[in-house]
Amino acid sequence: MKTSINLKNMRVLLSMLFVFLSVNAVAQNITGTVKDSQGEPIIGASVVEKGTSNGVVTNLDGQFTLKASGKYPIEISYMGYVKQVINLKGRTSLNIVMQEDANLLEEVVVSTGYGTQRKADLSGSVVSVSKEDIKGTPTSNVMEALQGKIAGADIMMGSGAVGEDVDILLRGSRSINGSNEPLFVIDGVQGASYNQLNPNDIEQIDVLKDASSTAIYGSAGANGVIIITTKRGAAGKVTVNLDAKYSISGGANFIHGMMGDEWYRYQTELYRTKNGEYPENFFQMFSSEAIQQAYENNQWIDWIDEATKGNASQKDINLSLRGGSDKIKIYTSFSYNNTEGLLSNENQTRYGMRFNVDYQIRKWVKIGASSALTYTIKNSRGKNIFTKSLTAFPLGKPYDDNGNINVEFIEGETSPFGDEMENQYANQTRTTYANINGYLEITPLKGLSFRSQISTTLNSSRNGQYIGEHSLQGVENGYSAPYAYINNNYGYSYLWDNVLTYKFEPLRGHKVTLTGVTSYSHGQSDSNNMRASGQPLDSYLFYNMASGITKYGVKSNYSQSQKMSYALRLNYVYNDKYIASFTTRWDGASHLASGHKWESFPAGALAWRVSQEPFMESTKKWLNNLKLRLSYGITGNSGGMGAYSSQTGAATYSPVSIDGVLSSVSQLVSPYGNPSIGWEKTYQWNYGVDLGFFDGRINLSFDYYDSKTKDLLFSRTLPVTSAITAWGSPMATWQNIGETSNKGYEIQLSTVNIKSRNFQWSSSISYTHNDEKIVNLPDGDLIAKKLFEGHPIKTFYDFKYAGIWSTAEEEEAAKYGCQPGYVKIETVEQFTTDENGNLVGDGGVHTYSNTRDLQILGSNVPDGILGVNNTFKYRDFDLSVFAMVRYGQMIDSKTIGWYSANGNNQPRGTNYWTPENQSAYFPRPGIASTTGIGSLKYIDGSYAKIKNITLGYTFPKKLCKTLGLEQCRLYATAYNVFVLPFKSELKHSDPENNGSDTFPLYKTYLLGLNVSF
């Protein structure tokens, strides 16, 4: 009996001891530090009990304290480092050294459309850009920040006007009249507006370039796909990030007009040409006493300086909050951007907010939403103020004694600043943009997931314009200044995507992912506008349309389109070495003709990770990655057409009286309906290789592509003989005719040149070469539209410059109807038939002809685009320098084209011909004939540019800790800081704007502060 009691007591004691030990285990504190191989603390490393949600992240000193149960090993992970799993074995203090992951690039996850993949498993051509590549660029346009950093992408900023978009091409232009813009997908929403996106909200950008990658988007992916993923919430404490920056402009890259001695010399040469001798004095050239007095008083006016008297500037404030738990994760941001342009009252103010949330209801079901709202106020200026200022008379008084603009600043001359006068010009646009999407994601079985996402985009804008009598801007035909105009646009669209994904491994080493997609989109827009002229008061601007007493008009418009799509994709990976992907998408578009609305777009890709083969084991020390890729696919394009372009248009005009009864008049208008209009298709091969050397220190990707676009969407003018006319003029119709070709190669290289404890130097290089041409057109070359077989779509066709006639060539010049100092062009030989019926050529010797001597000059398609970025880090300092070269393209330089050889003011620094300067590029001032002078503006537009220099300083961790901050970084950026045109004639301009003479590009200097707490 006693023994039995003792045994019972023993069991009770053992039970109590077990409970005591268990309680102690739960309460056990594990402390430690996490550092890299250089001994530097790693901030934000994840330390968790493996298989549980119990975890913490390291602090500013790399330290952590984890209350652990002791039942599970500790798992430590951080992006870019090899994950470690440690069994405690009674230890309560850990010192962990993380090793860099040599296969980091292979483990990166990229968006591939309706899903993600490891970079190692990709078989197509995809480039990923992180948020770090966007930082420091003083622009609110995210795509401008990526210029020169993506191989295959040609991104150009064509204007320095506030709020202007960039021009983007991926692998060249394919379509003549259809759209060549890539598809933008933001958080799964196709067609979302990237220019409404706050760059600080971006987590990652993935660019899909080849047909196998873009085929999942079918017809929308013909021109490439740019997938933008915004930041989401994360488990852990709430992190607040504040990014504030302010920038001002340097000098504008725009040529100024002549002044002082240079202007005087030009005028004397002009006089000499016309009169055979130099003038004796200023009075012989200008008899006006006012002009003489202004000259004597040195009242010179640099109109370009006056126009850009104030510096352009930009203020950016971005505040974001990020945090959450295992169940709910939230990211929200608020942004303010104010940009002041080069001209007065040229500005844009934008307010934005974003709210992203993800909620894990159960282990198998999750919901979430993304929403973005922006409100923008933009004041624009007329496009001709710079050219008017360039050619304006450079003497006089631009302002009166009270600082007001002198309309007639000197006798007989009107100010180019008419738009700058009070209430003489207004152009204001207010835009409200909202994009909201929500999703439901269910994972009922392991590997099986279903995601349904619906999104809507709302866009409304109001544009109001006013043009006073002194304004430089033109008005609508049939109206006169003063003139007011107001237009209201309302857009609404929604997209419903359903994605079923099944990931499974039927046999060991065989990974299969099946994806099925349905997608339905609906878009509609309507607008109404009013115009009126004859306002009695300029101060009304466009706010009192009823005050227009001379003439008024009202218009409205509505359009709607739908699209339905189905897609299937199979991804297969065997043994992490052999990769295959096959995709088919079926698209139906409402705006195409009946019977031609639906089309399928198949694609396939294969890849072989050669470096994973056993026979490559001996190369592991220096070659850690070798992958070969091959893909082929068909994509479509239906862009460029309106919602009803497959049907004949009609218009109703003002009613007329017939026998005293008012009857409306209707008339057919373009486009003329085509019952067989269908899809434009691109067929593309892609061959690629990915290489990694020395544990990821060097990574190289090379792609060669060959694409042909057939059945082009072409707006064709019908012949008059077809009798299909509108008011006697031929109508146009959409047809599927013609073919274009794009071939090229791309190189993407990244290197870690030096990496030590205190100093790092890394580089990234991208290179793009594209050969674009029209393969065939229905009737051969279309000279009227400057479309030529064998040449790119954008081809220049005009006189070909051959120099300036010299005095030694006077006799030869006379054969062409020219004299020394005239423009010499390369003529085209003309043929006539002699009396025997034989063709006789003139050897090109004839008077210049405005039609017969025109020829193909070149194209704006560059031979190559090179981008080079170097990043240096020394202790807490960082420096990045980004340079780019764009070469081999011709531009139509409108600024050069403003040299007229007449009495107007001319561009400063013009090297014009005189008998003493016969090697000049420009013709003699005052010549009687300027035929061929337009050939001067077609010039090699190659240039090199230092696009961005950023110097940053990150405050020491201890100081940040003292201040209660997690991180603090101060940085300064110089943008567009140096431009080197290859041609001296472009030295005062920036060829990046393709020769535009409207709003010049300019240097920008920025100071920014980024704080996290």
CATH number for the segment(s) 25-97: 2.60.40.1120
> Rounded to whole angstroms, what are the CA distances from 418 to 389, 467, 907?
11, 10, 21
Are 137 and 975 in contact by the 8 Å Cβ rule? The answer is: yes
944-986 pLDDT, tens digit per residue, is: 999 999 999 999 888 888 888 888 999 999 988 899 999 989 9
- pLDDT at residue 80 greater than cutoff 90: no
pLDDT of residue 864: 94
- pLDDT at residue 575 greater than cutoff 80: yes
What are the start-end ranges of the E strands in 294-412? 313-324, 328-340, 347-362, 365-379, 408-410
| 820 cis-preceded (ω within 30 degrees of 0) | no
- Of 38, 126, 132, 153, nearest to 871 by C-alpha is 132
The pTM of the full predicted model, rounded to 2 decimals, is 0.86
- Of 593, 437, 588, nearest to 520 by C-alpha is 588
The structure tokens listed for 593 are 């003709």
422 burial (CB, 10 Å; 0-12 / 13-18 / 19+) is exposed
Average pLDDT of 925-942? 94
The structure tokens listed for 848 are 């210049």
- Phi/psi at 26 (nearest 5 deg)? -65, -35
**Could you give the maximum distance between any two Cα atoms of the chain, in Å?**
145
pLDDT of residue 23: 41
pLDDT of residue 374: 96
**Lowest-pLDDT range of 104-118, 170-184, 845-859:** 104-118
Using 50, 70 and 90 to split pLDDT, how confident is the model at 2? very low
The structure tokens listed for 197 are 């996106």
The structure tokens listed for 816 are 């062409």
HEC letters along 48-88: EECCCCCEEECCCCCEEEEEECCCCCEEEECCCECCEEECC
Residues contacting residue 55 through CB under 8 Å, at least 6 positions apart: 46, 47, 48, 49, 66
pLDDT of residue 879: 94
Q: How many CB atoms are located within 10 Å of the residue 552 CB?
A: 16
Q: Calculate the average pLDDT of the chain.
A: 88
Are 251 and 987 in contact by the 8 Å Cβ rule? The answer is: no
- 76-85, 598-607, 676-685 — most confident range: 598-607
940-950 pLDDT, tens digit per residue, is: 999 999 999 99
**Distance between alpha carbon 396 and the CA centroid of its chain, in Å?**
43
- Phi/psi at 404 (nearest 5 deg)? -85, 150
- pLDDT at residue 199 greater than cutoff 90: no
Long-range contacts of 828-831 (CB under 8 A, 24+ apart): 828/852, 828/853, 828/854, 828/855
- pLDDT at residue 16 greater than cutoff 60: no
Residue 5 three-state SS? helix
267-283 pLDDT, tens digit per residue, is: 999 999 999 999 999 99
List, in sequence order, the alpha helices (H) in 550-657.
none
Strand partners, 710: 681, 739
Which amino acid is located at 87 in the chain? N
- pLDDT at residue 378 greater than cutoff 80: yes
The residue ranges of every structural domain in the chain are: 25-97, 109-238, 312-318+342-652+663-794+861-899+936-1012
Give CA torsion, residues 130, 133, 136, 140, to 10 deg.
Answer: -70
Average pLDDT of 629-645? 83
- Of 698, 766, 746, 752, nearest to 146 by C-alpha is 766
Using 50, 70 and 90 to split pLDDT, how confident is the model at 128? confident
- pLDDT at residue 425 greater than cutoff 70: yes
Class level of CATH domain 109-238: mainly beta
- Phi/psi at 968 (nearest 5 deg)? -145, 125
Host H or E run for residue 153:
strand 153-156
Using 50, 70 and 90 to split pLDDT, how confident is the model at 53? low
DSSP codes joined into one string, 882-931 = EEEEEES-EEE-TTGGG--SSSS--BTT--B-BTTBTT-SBPPTT-S--T
- Of 220, 229, 206, nearest to 124 by C-alpha is 206
Query: Which residue is listed with tokens 């300019």?
Result: 1002
Query: Which residue is listed with tokens 């990046």?
Result: 992
pLDDT of residue 805: 96
pLDDT of residue 289: 92
Q: What percent of the chain has pLDDT above 70?
A: 94
pLDDT of residue 40: 77
Are 378 and 386 in contact by the 8 Å Cβ rule? The answer is: no
Average pLDDT of 73-79? 84
- Say which DSSP state 438 is in: E
Are 775 and 883 in contact by the 8 Å Cβ rule? The answer is: no
- pLDDT at residue 868 greater than cutoff 90: yes
Q: Which residue has the higher pLDDT, 912 or 57?
A: 912
- Phi/psi at 15 (nearest 5 deg)? -65, -45
- pLDDT at residue 692 greater than cutoff 60: yes
Average pLDDT of 496-506? 94
Host H or E run for residue 483:
strand 483-504
Using 50, 70 and 90 to split pLDDT, how confident is the model at 107? low
Using 50, 70 and 90 to split pLDDT, how confident is the model at 723? low
Q: Within 13 Å and on the Cβ side, how many CA atoms surround 533?
A: 15
Using 50, 70 and 90 to split pLDDT, how confident is the model at 860? very high
Using 50, 70 and 90 to split pLDDT, how confident is the model at 17? very low
Calpha distance 804→925 (Å, rounded): 12
pLDDT of residue 21: 40
Host H or E run for residue 958:
helix 957-962
Are 637 and 680 in contact by the 8 Å Cβ rule? The answer is: yes
Pairing assessment for the beta strands 408-410 and 413-414 based on DSSP bridges: antiparallel
Residues contacting residue 279 through CB under 8 Å, at least 6 positions apart: 268, 271, 272, 285
768-779 pLDDT, tens digit per residue, is: 999 999 999 988
pLDDT of residue 899: 92
The structure tokens listed for 257 are 């007009």
651-668 pLDDT, tens digit per residue, is: 776 667 777 777 777 777
Host H or E run for residue 964:
none
- pLDDT at residue 714 greater than cutoff 70: yes
The structure tokens listed for 331 are 């990211």
Q: What percent of the chain has pLDDT above 90?
A: 54
Are 125 and 207 in contact by the 8 Å Cβ rule? The answer is: no
CATH number for the segment(s) 312-318+342-652+663-794+861-899+936-1012: 2.40.170.20
Query: Which residue is listed with tokens 């958080």?
Result: 187
The structure tokens listed for 635 are 């994509």
The structure tokens listed for 813 are 């010049």
Strand partners, 627: 609, 690
- Of 503, 705, 686, 692, nearest to 606 by C-alpha is 686
Buried b (16+ CB within 10 A) or exposed e, 871-881: bbbeeeebebb
What are the start-end ranges of the E strands in 724-787? 725-726, 729-730, 732-736, 739-755, 759-776
- Of 967, 727, 755, 974, nearest to 138 by C-alpha is 974
798-841 pLDDT, tens digit per residue, is: 999 999 999 999 999 999 999 999 999 999 999 888 888 888 89
Residues contacting residue 687 through CB under 8 Å, at least 6 positions apart: 629, 630, 703, 704, 705
Fold equal for 25-97 and 109-238: no
Distance linking the first and last C-alpha atoms of the chain: 68
Calpha distance 707→209 (Å, rounded): 11
HEC letters along 491-554: EEEEEEEEEEEEEECCCCCEEEEEEEEEEEEEEEEEEEEEEEECCCCHHHCCCCHHHCCCEEEE
- pLDDT at residue 693 greater than cutoff 50: yes
Pairing assessment for the beta strands 725-726 and 729-730 based on DSSP bridges: antiparallel
pLDDT of residue 940: 95
In terms of residues, how long is the chain? 1013
Angle value at C-alpha 544, between 538 and 548, nearest 5 degrees = 70
Calpha distance 903→920 (Å, rounded): 19
pLDDT of residue 7: 46
- pLDDT at residue 466 greater than cutoff 90: yes
- Say which DSSP state 456 is in: E
Calpha distance 3→5 (Å, rounded): 5
Strand partners, 377: 349, 430
Are 651 and 666 in contact by the 8 Å Cβ rule? The answer is: yes
Query: Which residue is listed with tokens 């200044």?
Result: 481
Average pLDDT of 858-871? 94
pLDDT of residue 138: 62
162-174 pLDDT, tens digit per residue, is: 888 888 899 899 8
Average pLDDT of 712-735? 76
